[in-house]
Structure 1
Amino acid sequence: MIKSVYLSGPMTGIQGFNYPAFNSAAAQLRAAGIRVCSPAEYPHDGPLEDFPIRDAFASYCDFICYAADAVVLLDGWETSDGARVEKALADRIGVPTITLAAALSGGGIDIIKPVGFGNDGVARIAAERSRHLSKEGFTPEKDARHRFGEMAAAAACYALICSGRAAYSNVAPIARATVEFWPWDSAWWKPSADSRRNLEKAGALIAAEIDRLDRLEFNS
């Protein structure tokens, strides 16, 4: 029996951050006697740019891991990076991901095949991006200094060496990427023998550049 759920769904880019859908779902679930953790209810009264994103996601993940009987995926969750990562987390630890209707009926099944081998690229990239923030100290403030596409160039370098060949010449791809394209000091160039690891780094850097451009547009 489902007694406690986490609500997951699209927010970014939707009017009002999709709060009406989250609030409606939460109200229905609570009326059915189900405990709900909703990201739309995370306490924050300040401006959007000051939202404590790390603290918030730490709280969400803690609830999914230790308190949720299921993760309820709202309509449009497939388009949300955050929701897909939350589903990947739930799949990995064995927490069912179900529809709102299934939760209200007291049961339900996984909406889609659980994320597993061959289907967890998004989760890998998200984990690497999280490591950048929590372990490497690559904060939004530091990312903002890279105003000339350096993060995109670095991502291209990590992706390039996975191609198995260098573009335009016979020079070894690692050497070519390092010498011609790498935007920072060579001490920061840390390719792996595992192509998947390099692609995780490339994906995380692309995500960081997208976030930087989004913040730039928001603050302009």
Structure 2
Amino acid sequence: MKRIYLSGPMTGLPDLNFAAFHAITTDLRAEGHTVTNPAEINPKGGTWTDCMRRDIAALMGCDTMATLPGWEHSKGARLEVLIAERLGMTVVNFHDLVTMGAITQPGI
């Protein structure tokens, strides 16, 4: 069982893209994975800095990161990916998990 951290764009998107984060979390958990979802860590948002501090702390408890579409355009997600890569964590595109049959795609 993987401990998966979700990383993707939030700032500037409707409802901070929470629907996509929650849909992916539901599917991954149904497969038996432990998922760390930033939308659950910061349900009411907050300042970018405060949210990133909480998110990065939570990332440290994971061994795998799954990136959501558009992550490369997000300042926060790029930082999370950089940290994960530098610490030797596995970083995979969410769609690669779908291709490998690990989960079903929730329509994103």
Smaller-chain TM-score bracket: 0.7 to 0.9
Is 1:58 the counterpart of 2:53? The answer is: yes
Q: Give CA-to-partner distance per residue, 1:77-112, whole Å, 9 cap, x none.
A: 0110100010010111011110224445488xxxxx
TM normalised by structure 2 equals 0.79
Cα deviation for residue 43 of structure 1 reads: 4.5
Residue of structure 2 in register with 1:76 after alignment: 70
Q: What code does the residue aligned with 1:73 have?
A: T
Residue of structure 2 in register with 1:8 after alignment: 7
Cα deviation for residue 25 of structure 1 reads: 0.6
Cα deviation for residue 16 of structure 1 reads: 1.4
- Percent identical among aligned pairs is 35
Cα deviation for residue 71 of structure 1 reads: 0.8
In the alignment, the residues of structure 2 paired with residue 12 and residue 52 of structure 1 have an alpha-carbon distance, to the nearest angstrom, of: 10
**Residues 23-172 of structure 1: pairs in structure 2 closer than 5 A:** 23-45=22-44, 51=46, 53-65=48-60, 67-103=61-97, 105=100
Segments of 5+ residues of structure 1 without an aligned counterpart are 108-220
Cα deviation for residue 54 of structure 1 reads: 4.1
Q: Give CA-to-partner distance per residue, 1:164-183, whole Å, 9 cap, x none.
A: xxxxxxxxxxxxxxxxxxxx
Larger relative strand fraction? 2
TM normalised by structure 1 equals 0.41
In the alignment, the residues of structure 1 paired with residue 50 and residue 74 of structure 2 have an alpha-carbon distance, to the nearest angstrom, of: 19
The structure with the larger Rg is 1
Q: What code does the residue aligned with 2:40 have?
A: E
Cα deviation for residue 64 of structure 1 reads: 1.9
Cα deviation for residue 58 of structure 1 reads: 2.4
Segments of 5+ residues of structure 2 without an aligned counterpart are 103-108
- Is the Cα contact below 8 Å between 2:52 and 2:76 reproduced in 1? no
Q: What code does the residue aligned with 1:31 have?
A: A
Q: What code does the residue aligned with 1:25 have?
A: I
Provide the secondary structure at the position in 2 that maps to 1:68: coil
> Closer, same or farther in 2 for the Cα pair 1:79/1:63, shift >3 Å?
same
In the alignment, the residues of structure 2 paired with residue 59 and residue 43 of structure 1 have an alpha-carbon distance, to the nearest angstrom, of: 8
Provide the secondary structure at the position in 2 that maps to 1:36: strand
In the alignment, the residues of structure 2 paired with residue 62 and residue 10 of structure 1 have an alpha-carbon distance, to the nearest angstrom, of: 18
